[in-house]
Structure 1
Amino acid sequence: MYKLNLKIALRNLWKNKGFSLINIGGLAIGLASCMVLLIYVGYEWSYDKQFTNHDKTYVVYQNVAANGKTFSWAWTPNVMASEVQEKIPGVKYASHSTYPRPNLITVGDKKLSSKVVFTDPNFLKILDYKFIKGNPAKVLEDINTIVLTKSFAEKLFGKEDPINKTVKFENQDLLKVTAVIEDVPANSSIIFESIMPWPLLEKREPWVKESNWGNNMCLTLVQLQDNKFFTESNAAIEGIYKRHQKDNPTVALLHPLAKWHLYGDFVNGKSVGGKIDQLKIFLLLAFCILLIACVNFMNLSTARSEGRAKEVGVRKAIGSTRKSLISQFFLESLLITFISTVFAFILVETSLPYFNNILNIKLTIDYNDVKFWMVLSTLMIFTGLVAGSYPALYLSSFEPVKVLKGFKIKTDSSVSVRKVLVVGQFVFAACLIVCTAVIYQQLNYVKNKPIGYDQSNLIQIAIEGKMHEPGKLELLKNQLLNSGAATDVTFFSSDVTEGGNNTTNIQWEGKNPNELISFNHRAIGYNFIETIGTELISGRTLSPKFKNDTNSVMLNEAAVKMMGLKNPIGAVITFWGNKLTNVGVVKDFVVESAYQKVAPMIFYLDTHDDATVILARLNPNQNISSSLAKIDELVKEIEPNYPVNRKFVNESFEVKFQDEKLLGTLSNWFGGFAIFISCLGLLGLALFMAEQRKKEISIRKVLGASTTNILTLLNKDFIKLVAIANVIAFPLAYIIITKWLSAFEYRVAISFLPFALAIVISILIAVLTVSIQSIKVAKANPVDALKYE
């Protein structure tokens, strides 16, 4: 029986090549889109879950109430790990580590910048990376040792065995390689190339030894013996700051490692979402695209009902039951789905390199993964059954007597159902058009919003090695200016586009003693205002003309407002116990998030080698390439042992919009696929309607109707469907975009433009799609349709 049904299915596919091609193409695009989105969602979902006990591992967060809201950070004091290990119930391991930082590692003539993590042996017990060489129980015990990842070991030693070989760290410390581990997976929150013992960091930076509960400088990971201890452990860690500093209002909490990447947004000290919200959108997009492809299949299948009516009638007349007919139609649907899946694989494998490029990740299909095949099989069966459900039930319901006698099949209900399906398709398409337009509006609004300083031709150079020696930075600054490569040069204590140090230990006259306010603080060099191209609102800048400026600061506008200073110039603040005088007010400029309000900031003169980058404004009258080459040459003269680490500030700033650009790009691509598949569904309904109204159109032509009249008549009904779809879609789209925009303090106002765009695009698509088929009917010879009457 199944063999016969399979033969019939194959014959029908071959006989109706045009319909088969459209059906298979629509389902293939729908399945391919769904697969790419699911592969991406699976990749993001698997973040930090490659470790054996990831479900029992937690990141210690701190909550600090300041500036009227609660800030949450995964930064903790260096003493947190030992205290948690000893005092918190249910803890199996606790580890502290630095976040990955770039450092120079040398082997012979090879000088490479490596992402380094300083940590303790518990780190590799909590995060059980696979060891290729070395003893996991003995690593990080000796101070002058190092653990390398596989690819970094190959960069340093080629195919040689790296175990017991030595590398030079920062041109100072000789370290012995004691182990090699597998490369850190790309879907990890902590990406590094080498691991070094914590005592080595203490040796190089003695201040790290100090037990200071007010200095949050490292990452603390905790692994519980069992998750049944979580409630007790989390309650015990909550007051850990206050137990060591009575006046410290900070609260600690355990945040699951498996949720660190996906649930990174905190509001009032509680995790509320983050990347997971984007994944939900992509999951919904994947499901809707597949559903649209299934609806398209239904429309095209039932559009051929006239052609298959007699087949159904004959089969019923010779004894076929409705059940067997339903089985046949489902088999056809599953066969088409299987063929579509083969083509979908080709589309996915072809398109993945492109998506990997725009996503900056490496998505692959793991053909050895049983879960992948289970999901794929489920997807195929679901698609086949959903796509074939309506055609199977509708076509198998024909009455054989009426069909074989040539009676007209009653099609009102089927047309109505197809109209509802087409409306559903265009509701989703219109929503996508509106949402994608708003995403791009928001992205452009924030990117073009004044950020308070001039990014053009501004570069930052990392300060490394000998550049930290006394007098070397000033020497380099003078050389850069004298060479003509730069017009202004200054120093800054952190990457100018990223976060940095902050403190609540600020006092001033009139401050509410019960109010906690967090300030960003940055060390700057002379000529800071001129170099970055910001504005001095009042007062003066820090200058070598004033020898007492080591006791002076500048505040930004947000700090003046937060402090409530009516006369900010001359105001005295106490910063970490030192009384400093404010001499200037700097215009607010964006340092951290471009979507949030600028935080209060204090600028002080760099007198203790706090600077980590040099900021240089390139000379606009010189060739950029020659200026950069000259800068590299001068930096190399002072520090020849390090590769020059420089970048344009605007390139770093662009990274801030990566998530929104990704959302916009994927919405654009897959929205386009959804609209294309919707067009195929509309084409199916147009084919059906044209077939049903063939004689009516012929009579109208005989009576004098023009081709334009006929096209207007046929398009009118479909424009009504699209109009209904837009009416339904717009409130849904408005709710969705309002919720999405609410996450940004700086956001674009919702205008009529995206909705107008949706109307124009959807109507234009409908008219073009319907006209492609309708024009054939409108231009056909009416005699062909009427000669049998």
Structure 2
Amino acid sequence: MLKLNLNIALRNLWKNKGFTLINIGGLAIGLASCMVLLLYVNNEWNYDKQFTNYQNTYVVYNNIKASDKTFSVRITPNAMAAEIRAKIPGIAYASHSADYGSQLISYQDRKFKKQAIAADPAFLKILDYKFVKGNPNTVLREVNSVILTKTLAKSLFGNEDPINKTVKFDNKESLKVEAVIEDVPANSSFSFDYLVPWAFAEKMLPDMKNPNWGDSSYLTLIQLQDQSFFNQINAAIRGIFVRHDKNSNSEAFLHPLAKLHLYGDFENGKSVGGRIDQLRILLVLAFCILLIACINFMNLTTAKSGKRAKEVGVRKAIGSSRNALVFQFITESMLISLLSTALAFALVEISLPYFNNLLGISLKIEYENWKFWITLLGLVFFTGVLAGSYPAFYLSSFESVKALKGLSVKAGSSFSVRSILVVFQFVFAVCLIICTTVIYQQLNYIKNKPVGYNKHNLIQIEVSGKLDNQKKLDLLKDRLLKSGAATHVSFFNADLNFNSRNTNAVSWGGKSPNESTLFNYRSAGNDFVETMGTRMVAGREFSAQYSDSNRVIINEAAVKVMGLKHPVGTTITFWESPVVIIGVMKDFVSASAYQKVAPMIFHPVTRFKAEVVLLRLNEAENIGSSLAQVDDIVKSMNPDYPVNRTFMDESFEKKFAEEQLLGTLSNWFGGFAIFISCLGLLGLALYMAEQRKKEISIRKVLGASTYSVLALLNGDFIRLVAIANVIAFPLGYIFASKWLSGFDFRVDISLLPFALAAVLSVIIALLTVSIQSVKVAKANPVDALRSE
């Protein structure tokens, strides 16, 4: 029976090659789009789930109450892990680690700046990375030791065995290689190229040895013995700050490792989502594209139902039951689904390298993973049944006597269903056009919104090696200015485009004793304002002409929070030391461009050493030659380290990575959804034109113009698209408004997205239908009427 059904299915597919190609092509594009989106969703969903006991692993978060808000951060004091391990039962492991950032590591003449993390032995018990070489039970105990990732080991040693060989850290300390682990997966929240022991970090920074509950700068991971301990441990950990400082405004809590990546947004100390919202959008997008492709199949199959009426009548006459006919048509749809899947695989393999490069990710099809094949079979079965269900029940309902007499099958109900399905396709397409337009409007609005400083020709150079002292930096500044390559040079204590440390240890006259305000504190060098291309609202900036060791600068947001009418000259307390405000700087964006600028306080760079050099290129000189001069000067003063520089406008772009990703995916796959919808319209236009060929010929004989024939053929389809627009407009507005509500600064939803969606959908529908309509309208009526 199955063999007979397959033979009939193959014969029908071959007989109707045009419809078969449209069906298979549409389903293949829908499946390929769905597969790529599901691969991305799966990659994001599996973040940090590659570890054996990830379900029992938690990150200790810190809720800091300040400025009538609660800020949730995943940094804690250095004493947190030891305190939890010693005093709270139910803990299997507790680990603290510190992100060292990009640090030089070398072997002989091979030198690389790679990401380093300082961690204790428990770190690798909790995060059980696969060991390639070395003993996992003895690592990170010896002070001057190091663990390399496989790729770094290959870069440093080639084919040599790295174990027990010595590498140089920052050109100063010798470290013995004690193990090699597999590379950290791309979908991991902890990115590093090598690990050094926590004891080594204490050796380099002796202050780390002293328990300090006032400095939250470290990551604390814990692993429970069992889930049954969670409530008990989470309750015990909440008061851990207050037990060490009665005046503390911090409260610790546990956040699951499995939710670290997807649920990273917090409001008032509670998780409210994050990237999971983006995944939900993409998941809906994936299945809606597949649904549109299935709708095409339904429409085209039922549209040519008249041609199969006699086949149904004959099979019923010789005894076929309706169930047998349903099975026959489901078999056909399953066969098309399988053929489409084969083509979809080819499309996915061709397109994946492009998408990986476009999105900066590394998706791949895991052919060896049994879960992949089960998902794929489920997808094929779902597509086949969904696409074939309505046509199967509709076609099998024909009355055999009427069909065999040659009477035309009334398709009024089927046409109304097809109309509904076409409307649904274009509702989704129009919604996508509206939402994608709003996403790009929001991105452009934020990118073009004044950031408070001039990003153009502003460069940031990382401080390392011999430059790691102020005298060398002052000499570098002098040489850069004399070269003419730079017009202004200053220093800063952290990457300008990302958040720095925060403190609430700021007091001023009139401050309420119960008030806690969180300040973002920075170190800035002389001429910082000039170099940044910003301005002082009042007072002056730091200058070599003055002794500014106990002077600070604040921004406009800080003035508002403090309520100071005449801030310049005011003495405030910063970290229990009196300091004098010498200037007020214009607010500038340093953290999120979507949120209001935080209160900021700047002290001289002499208090905290500079980590970056800021310089403004001379616009009168050629940029290429200026960059070469800058590199040569930095390299001559620091020959053992590569020059790590970035343009600030390029660095600023990284703030919008998530929104750009969502916009890019919506744009591409929205285009695919529209293309699939157009395939369906084209197929229906082909069928309708064929059905009405004689009617059109008679109209032309009676004097109808080509324009009137085109209007007749296109009218029904344009009406459906218009209805789709009416339905899609409020839906698109709701979706766009909900997405925009997550930003403090957001664009107003204008008429442009809706007008663009309406015009595009009508033009696309007109062009698609007219491809066939023009051909029919211009055909010689004699060809269609000669048989009458």
TM-score (norm 1): 0.98
Shift of 1:775: 2.3
CA contact (8 A) 1:100 1:191 kept: no
* 1:312-711 map, 5 Å: 312-547=312-547, 549-711=548-710
Q: Counterparts of 1:278 and 1:300 in 2: how far apart (Å)?
A: 33
Report the AA paired with residue 306 of structure 1.
G
CA contact (8 A) 1:490 1:531 kept: yes
Q: Counterparts of 2:303 and 2:681 in 1: how far apart (Å)?
A: 11
Shift of 1:698: 2.8
CA contact (8 A) 2:470 2:609 kept: no
* 1:203-222 map, 5 Å: 203-222=203-222
Q: More deviation in 245-254 or 307-316? A: 307-316
CA contact (8 A) 1:148 1:194 kept: yes
Report the AA paired with residue 72 of structure 2.
S
The equivalent residue for 1:134 is 134
Shift of 1:609: 4.6
Q: Deviations for 1:74-110, whole angstroms, at most 9, x for unmatched residues? A: 0100000000111123111000001251111121111
Q: Counterparts of 1:609 and 1:784 in 2: how far apart (Å)?
A: 89
Q: Counterparts of 1:248 and 1:67 in 2: how far apart (Å)?
A: 14
Q: 1:248 to 1:720 in 2, by over 3 A?
A: same
The equivalent residue for 2:71 is 71
Q: Counterparts of 2:676 and 2:338 in 1: how far apart (Å)?
A: 18
Corresponding residue SS for 1:471: helix
* 1:67-106 map, 5 Å: 67-106=67-106
Corresponding residue SS for 1:132: strand
CA contact (8 A) 1:41 1:283 kept: yes
CA contact (8 A) 1:488 1:530 kept: yes
Q: Counterparts of 2:555 and 2:193 in 1: how far apart (Å)?
A: 38
Q: Counterparts of 1:537 and 1:308 in 2: how far apart (Å)?
A: 80
Report the AA paired with residue 369 of structure 1.
N
CA contact (8 A) 2:469 2:609 kept: no
CA contact (8 A) 2:487 2:615 kept: yes
Q: Counterparts of 2:87 and 2:358 in 1: how far apart (Å)?
A: 47
CA contact (8 A) 1:593 1:656 kept: yes
Q: Counterparts of 1:372 and 1:431 in 2: how far apart (Å)?
A: 31
User: In the comparison of the two structures, how many residue pairs are matched?
Assistant: 788
Q: Deviations for 1:625-648, whole angstroms, at most 9, x for unmatched residues? A: 222222122212222221111111
Q: Counterparts of 2:314 and 2:776 in 1: how far apart (Å)?
A: 29
Shift of 1:19: 0.8
The equivalent residue for 1:8 is 8
| % identical equivalent positions | 65
Q: Deviations for 1:199-224, whole angstroms, at most 9, x for unmatched residues? A: 11111111211211110111000100
Q: Counterparts of 1:107 and 1:733 in 2: how far apart (Å)?
A: 57
Shift of 1:32: 0.2
CA contact (8 A) 1:358 1:662 kept: no
Q: Counterparts of 2:568 and 2:712 in 1: how far apart (Å)?
A: 75
Report the AA paired with residue 678 of structure 1.
S
Shift of 1:391: 1.1
Q: Deviations for 1:463-512, whole angstroms, at most 9, x for unmatched residues? A: 11221235111111101101111110000010011111110000000112
CA contact (8 A) 1:99 1:190 kept: no
Q: Deviations for 1:645-672, whole angstroms, at most 9, x for unmatched residues? A: 1111111111111111111111010000
Shift of 1:592: 0.6
CA contact (8 A) 1:418 1:685 kept: no
Shift of 1:785: 4.2
Q: CA RMSD in A?
A: 1.2
Q: Deviations for 1:374-395, whole angstroms, at most 9, x for unmatched residues? A: 0000000000011011111111
Q: Deviations for 1:711-747, whole angstroms, at most 9, x for unmatched residues? A: 1122222111111111111111111111100111110
Q: Deviations for 1:661-688, whole angstroms, at most 9, x for unmatched residues? A: 1111110100000001111222233334
Q: 1:400 to 1:776 in 2, by over 3 A?
A: farther
Q: More deviation in 715-724 or 653-662? A: 715-724
Q: Counterparts of 2:653 and 2:268 in 1: how far apart (Å)?
A: 28
Report the AA paired with residue 658 of structure 2.
D
The equivalent residue for 2:281 is 281
Corresponding residue SS for 1:574: strand
Consecutive unaligned residues of structure 1, counting only runs of 5 or more, are none
Shift of 1:694: 3.4
The equivalent residue for 1:116 is 116
Shift of 1:317: 2.0
Q: More deviation in 49-58 or 729-738? A: 729-738
Report the AA paired with residue 447 of structure 1.
K
Q: 1:601 to 1:403 in 2, by over 3 A?
A: same
Report the AA paired with residue 231 of structure 1.
N
Report the AA paired with residue 264 of structure 1.
G
Q: Counterparts of 2:338 and 2:641 in 1: how far apart (Å)?
A: 56
Corresponding residue SS for 1:585: strand
Q: Counterparts of 2:545 and 2:191 in 1: how far apart (Å)?
A: 45
CA contact (8 A) 1:100 1:190 kept: no
Q: Counterparts of 2:30 and 2:672 in 1: how far apart (Å)?
A: 8
Q: Deviations for 1:415-470, whole angstroms, at most 9, x for unmatched residues? A: 00000000000010010000000000000000011101011111111111221235
The equivalent residue for 2:748 is 749
Q: Counterparts of 1:453 and 1:271 in 2: how far apart (Å)?
A: 33
Shift of 1:784: 4.5
The equivalent residue for 2:226 is 226
Report the AA paired with residue 745 of structure 2.
Y
Shift of 1:12: 1.1
TM-score (norm 2): 0.99
Report the AA paired with residue 660 of structure 1.
E
CA contact (8 A) 2:523 2:607 kept: no
Consecutive unaligned residues of structure 2, counting only runs of 5 or more, are none
Corresponding residue SS for 1:550: coil
Q: Counterparts of 1:320 and 1:683 in 2: how far apart (Å)?
A: 34
CA contact (8 A) 2:325 2:396 kept: yes
Q: Counterparts of 1:123 and 1:55 in 2: how far apart (Å)?
A: 16
Q: Counterparts of 1:699 and 1:515 in 2: how far apart (Å)?
A: 86
Report the AA paired with residue 183 of structure 1.
D
